[in-house]
Amino acid sequence: MAAVDADLLADFKGRPTKTIVLAELDLPTTRGYSEAWAAASARLYEGLLVRGGQITRSVSDSSYNLPRDTARVQIWDKDRDLEKVFLGSEVGAVSGSAARIKIASRTQAESKWFTVFAGVIESFNMPRARLWDITLKRDDKALQGLVNIDYFQRYDWLNLPTASIGLPSQAVYGRHNSGATSVSGMVAATYVDDVNFRYAASMGPLTSIPNVYSGGTLKTVTTDYTINTAYFNRGKWWTIITFVADQGTNDVTFDCEGLSSGGLIQNQATQLEHFLTNFVFGDWRNSTTQASSAWLSASDYNIDETFFAETETFFSNKQIAKGSRVITAGTRGIDVLNEWTKQFQVPSFWTYDGKIAVRPDDHCLTDTYIDAPHLRQEISPAPSVIQVSYDASRLVDEVSADFLYAEADGAFQDHLTVKDSSKGYGSAVALPLHWRESQYVE
């Protein structure tokens, strides 16, 4: 996320009369408005901005859902230029048109101007003649829609069995290993070719598939089946398991190391960034470089790579950088994002320039104490005007939590024990650890 230029910030603090608010609306032709007439290399900003920069942002969402940011601008439509757009033939292109709010200074170069809000037009109204009140929001259209993962249809798979028509395909991240459970294969494959006995394991190239099961029975590679991690079908890229003989009505399952991008994508932050890039904001299926096994780049979309890299490092440093997830067609991007942030309790947010970012709150102590801090006694004397006391009856001596995987529910159960009779015991609840690599044993 770009920082405010020091010279612009100095003007904003010390000489506020030198700073002005600019609004840009792409309708689709870009129009510029300001509190006072201003000129830039690309356009002239008309002095018709009545109100700008009324921005609403969530500070901290305890539910860890992506906050909803909005902004409002009011523009005096002196020549009825906006009226021709909002009430004319171009009105259909208004909703979703890009818009920006910037802070500028009369004494600073245009390169130092700062974008304080970037989004799209959400709604508009006319509170009185020739005055337009326009509401902006973040560009979350891709997040609110379904992910770019296919359903199986016969026009894509000519030999698709009738029972597989309309089933969702999937993208598989991380390691999935049934060695520590009674399950034979952690991930299910879909029968897509009943002539050549092909089963689709995942969209995109999986790193490896060490075990394949048919009807719960372990099969032998080469003798019973082969694996192709670069199988192309109608211009789309798949990992396919091909059997040498018909498996009948047997379910085919497998263990695997999931999607690869120069190696197994394992860090949970990397997985989320890769998913948002290729299956939400971008559609990797339409990539012209698909034949060379290249994924899309996050830099081409509304994703803040700096904050994601910071979160990747955080997970690595805490030694929790191993995640696994199967994401299927019919899923909304916003639901996957919110599920991820809730599990890891890492907030997601919009940057000033309209990009998605995640950033962990690191509550670990970084200072060194000569004397250990205590709850029951003050280490250093407090000023006489301050009286500090502790209610010893409310102190908790020890807290322990037990976790057990409930195979029937496909989730973990936790049991909380608090060693304080006044607190009692917590009841068992399900924990949605969908992104944890909990089912894999090294």
136, 242, 330 from 192: Cα distances, Å: 45, 10, 18
Question: Partners of 225 in the beta sheet?
Answer: 221, 243
Contact (Cβ atoms closer than 8 angstroms) between residue 390 and residue 376? yes
Residues 351 and 397 in one domain: no
Using omega within 30 degrees of 0 as the cis cutoff, is the peptide bond preceding 28 cis?
Answer: yes
Question: What pLDDT does residue 439 have?
Answer: 52
Looking at the DSSP bridge assignments, the partners of residue 241 are: 199, 227
**Nearest to residue 72, comparing CAs of 101, 45, 46?**
101
Distance CA(147)–CA(143), nearest Å, equals 8
DSSP state of 325: E
The answer on 163 and 126 residing in a single domain is no
Q: Is residue 250 part of a domain?
A: yes
- Structural domain for 254, as ranges: 140-364
- By three-state DSSP, how is residue 279 classified? helix
Residues 125 and 156 both lie in one domain: no
Q: Strand 356-358 vs strand 225-233: parallel, antiparallel, or unpaired?
A: unpaired
192/306 same-domain check: yes
Clarify whether residues 230 and 253 are in a common domain.
yes
pLDDT for 308-346, tens place per residue?
999 999 999 988 889 999 999 999 999 999 999 999 989
State the chain's mean pLDDT as an integer.
84
Task: Identify the band that residue 415 occupies on the pLDDT scale cut at 50, 70 and 90.
Answer: low
Residue the block writes with tokens 């830039």: 40
| 80: in domain | yes
Q: Do 44 and 99 belong together in one domain?
A: yes
Percent of the chain exceeding pLDDT 90 equals: 57
Amino acid at the residue 43: R
Inter-CA distances, 179 with 201, 219, 223, Å: 19, 15, 22
Window from 14-28, 55-69, 211-225 with minimum mean pLDDT: 55-69
Identify whether residues 135 and 148 lie together within a single domain: no
| Domain identity same for 313 and 244 | yes
Q: Is residue 1 part of a domain?
A: no
Query: Within a domain: residue 282?
Result: yes
**Angle, helix 268-275 to helix 305-317, in steps of 10 degrees:** 150
User: For the chain, what is the radius of gyration of the CA atoms?
Assistant: 28
Cα separations (Å) of 20 from 54, 82, 106, 107, 187? 14, 22, 8, 11, 57
Single out the residue in 310, 341, 364 at which a domain terminates: 364
pLDDT of residue 38: 86
Kindly state whether residues 336 and 380 are assigned to the same domain. no
- The answer to whether residues 234 and 279 belong to one domain is yes
State the average pLDDT over residues 155-160. Answer: 94
96-107, pLDDT tens digit by residue?
A: 899 999 999 888
Q: What is the pLDDT of residue 274?
A: 97
**Domain assignment present for 216:** yes
- Band the pLDDT of 384: cuts 50, 70, 90: very low
**Does pLDDT of 383 surpass 60?**
no
Give the model confidence (pLDDT) of 41-97 as tens digits: 888 999 999 988 788 877 666 778 998 889 999 999 999 999 989 988 878 888 889
Cα distance from N-terminal residue to C-terminal residue, the chain:
37
Same domain, 126 and 234: no
Residue 358 within a domain? yes
Q: State which of 334, 364, 394 marks the end of a domain.
A: 364
Extract the tokens encoding 168: 């969702």
In a domain, 171, yes or no: yes
What CATH number does residue 46 fall under? 2.40.10
Scanning 250-323, the segments in alpha helix (DSSP H) are 268-275, 305-317
Q: Where does a domain end: 337, 364, 391?
A: 364
> Bridge-partner residues for 203, per DSSP?
238
Number of domains in the chain: 3
Asked if 61 and 187 sit in the same domain, the reply is no
**356 belongs to a structural domain:** yes
Strand 19-26's sheet: what is its strand order? Answer: 38-39, 44-46, 30-34, 19-26, 98-105, 114-128, 131-137, 70-76, 49-56
Indicate whether 373 pLDDT > 80.
no
Closest CA to 27 of 76, 102, 129, 99: 99
Does the pLDDT of residue 132 top 90, yes or no?
A: yes
**Average of per-residue pLDDT across 106-124:** 91
CA–CA dist 296, 289 (Å, integer): 9
| HSE-CB for 323 with a 13 A CA cutoff | 23
Report the percentage of the chain scoring pLDDT > 70: 80
pTM attached to this predicted model: 0.82
